[in-house]
Amino acid sequence: MESIRDQLLDCFEKYAEDDTRLVQELNALITQEGNQVISCIFQILTNLDLSPAEAEDHWQKVVDHCHGLSSSLGREVNLRTAVCDYFCSINKSLHNPKIIEIHLFEKTAKSSTFDSLTGLLNRNAFDDALEREISRAKRYDSNLSLLFLDLDGFKQVNDSFGHMAGDEVLKKVAQIIMTEKRSEDIAARYGGEEVAILMPETGKAEGWLLGERVRKRLEEAIITYEDQAIKITLSGGLASYPIDANDGTPLLKNADKAMYRAKSFGKNNISLYSMDKRRNIRIEYSTSVELSEIGFGAKQTINAITKSLSIGGIMLESESPIDVGVKIQMSLAINDANPILVIGNVIRVEKKDSGNYDISIAFSDSDTMLKNEISSYLIN
């Protein structure tokens, strides 16, 4: 899908000589896509980075200023002139603006801002964006999440299929990310096979869901190069401001640490940074289940009620305790699908004031079908 920025650039080019039509088209796009369009308009015309709320406040003032200038001068003043005068003389965010054709500026900016292979931002541009978004998050007391992704076994792809095949893989990853992310999210090729995604006004749960959508789509994708099929996965780490870090550099470091934790847990998963080492997002999930111990001398089946669910495990409540370390099996129906036989290990048992027991069970890392079912359930 054509990006908002590209649509705006087309509007400015197409209606360069028809300012009335230009404003009409811009307003139509604002109505369709929201105030993020206004932020992009001002970014294109002034290179100022304004939040959607700030941009909305300035937009009507600029339009009114344009009409006022036209009345005062007795001739039509176009939107570009009004924007320049408004931000120089009234708002005073600009002090020494430089006049340049948009297409020339965009060409220069693109070469210094974007990665030529993937079309994502380059590392320098991402570092600037991180500093800017951290400042904005502090100013508006909002969340900011950073997802750090690394392709699993990318070196083997280059060694087996060649570097041009590796380039095709990177382009496919970028395509998936650009399709799944929001327009306000900022994605960059941070290193050779590393991608960083910055998500303004986004908490951990929402950030994890984006990472999981990207991970799942890449896992299911078949990338072809010279009639050869290439399969590859990725691992990711997620950290959020202000819960995990209070500035940009530690936020990036913590997302990187979480990514390496994902690698250590078998790759092809998204891990959360947290001081308590929790790996996955948990959601409320309530249903009745029967637990059966596995092994020699196994006890009878006991009943339990599930409380929360993640890709890595499940928490239940039962009237009967189970010893830590015991292997169990149960049948779970997730996402209205047929029940799946689940095998896991009891990793924590805690007695409640009511006399019941909270029981935490970790799923087997090799249970790919279960993880895919849970992933689909969480995403949808």
Model pLDDT, residue 116: 87
Residue whose entry in the numeric block shows the structure tokens 């088209």: 25
pLDDT for 96 beyond 90:
no
Report the percentage of the chain scoring pLDDT > 90.
Answer: 55
Per-chain mean pLDDT for the chain:
87
Cα separation, 332 vs 288, in Å, equals 9
Cα separation, 380 vs 376, in Å, equals 6
- The pLDDT confidence band at residue 2, using thresholds 50, 70 and 90, is very low
- The pLDDT confidence band at residue 283, using thresholds 50, 70 and 90, is confident
Model pLDDT, residue 340: 81
Helix or strand run (H / E) with residue 161: helix 154-161
pLDDT for 300 beyond 50:
yes
- pLDDT tens per residue across span 117-132: 999 999 999 999 999 9
β-pairing verdict for 233-241 and 270-272: parallel
Are 183 and 4 in contact, with CB atoms under 8 Å apart? yes
Model pLDDT, residue 296: 66
Model pLDDT, residue 282: 67
Least confident of 209-223, 239-253, 256-270, 327-341: 327-341
pLDDT for 306 beyond 80:
yes
Cα separation, 299 vs 292, in Å, equals 7
Task: Give me the phi and psi of 166, to 5 degrees please.
Answer: -60, -40
Question: In terms of Cα–Cα distance, which of 181, 187, 177, 171 is closest to 118?
Answer: 171
CA dihedral 48, 22, 1, 137 (to 10 degrees): 20
Are 321 and 349 in contact, with CB atoms under 8 Å apart? yes
Least confident of 179-193, 261-275, 331-345: 331-345
Residues 6+ apart with CB under 8 A from 89: none
Model pLDDT, residue 266: 81
pTM, full prediction: 0.59
Cis peptide before 339 (omega within 30 of 0): no
What does the pLDDT average to over 361-369?
Answer: 70
Which neighbouring-strand residues pair with 241?
144
Question: In terms of Cα–Cα distance, which of 316, 308, 302 is closest to 350?
Answer: 316
Report the percentage of the chain scoring pLDDT > 70.
Answer: 89
Which neighbouring-strand residues pair with 304?
289
Model pLDDT, residue 180: 95
- The pLDDT confidence band at residue 190, using thresholds 50, 70 and 90, is very high
Model pLDDT, residue 346: 87
Task: Retrieve residue 143's tokens.
Answer: 């969340």
β-pairing verdict for 313-318 and 144-152: unpaired
Kindly list the structural domains of the chain, giving each domain's residue range(s) and its CATH number in brackets, ordered by start: 4-111 (no CATH), 114-272 (3.30.70.270), 283-379 (2.40.10.220)
DSSP character for 234?
E
Q: Where is mean pLDDT largest: 94-98, 258-262, 283-287?
A: 258-262
What does the pLDDT average to over 347-367?
Answer: 84
Model pLDDT, residue 157: 93
What does the pLDDT average to over 51-59?
Answer: 91
Cα separation, 328 vs 314, in Å, equals 12
Q: Which long-range contacts does 239-245 make (Cβ < 8 Å, 24+ apart)?
A: 239/145, 239/146, 239/148, 239/272, 239/273, 240/143, 240/144, 240/145, 240/146, 240/202, 240/203, 240/204, 240/207, 241/134, 241/137, 241/143, 241/144, 241/145, 241/146, 242/137, 242/143, 243/204, 244/273, 244/274
Model pLDDT, residue 210: 93
Residue whose entry in the numeric block shows the structure tokens 């993640």: 310
pLDDT for 276 beyond 70:
no
pLDDT for 1 beyond 60:
no
Model pLDDT, residue 337: 66
Model pLDDT, residue 194: 97
What does the pLDDT average to over 125-141?
Answer: 94
Q: What single letter denotes the amino acid at residue 236? A: G
What does the pLDDT average to over 225-246?
Answer: 93
pLDDT for 279 beyond 60:
no
Instruction: Tell me the three-class secondary structure of 327-372, residue by residue.
Output: EEEEEECCCCCCCEEEEEEEEEEEECCCCCEEEEEEECCCCHHHHH
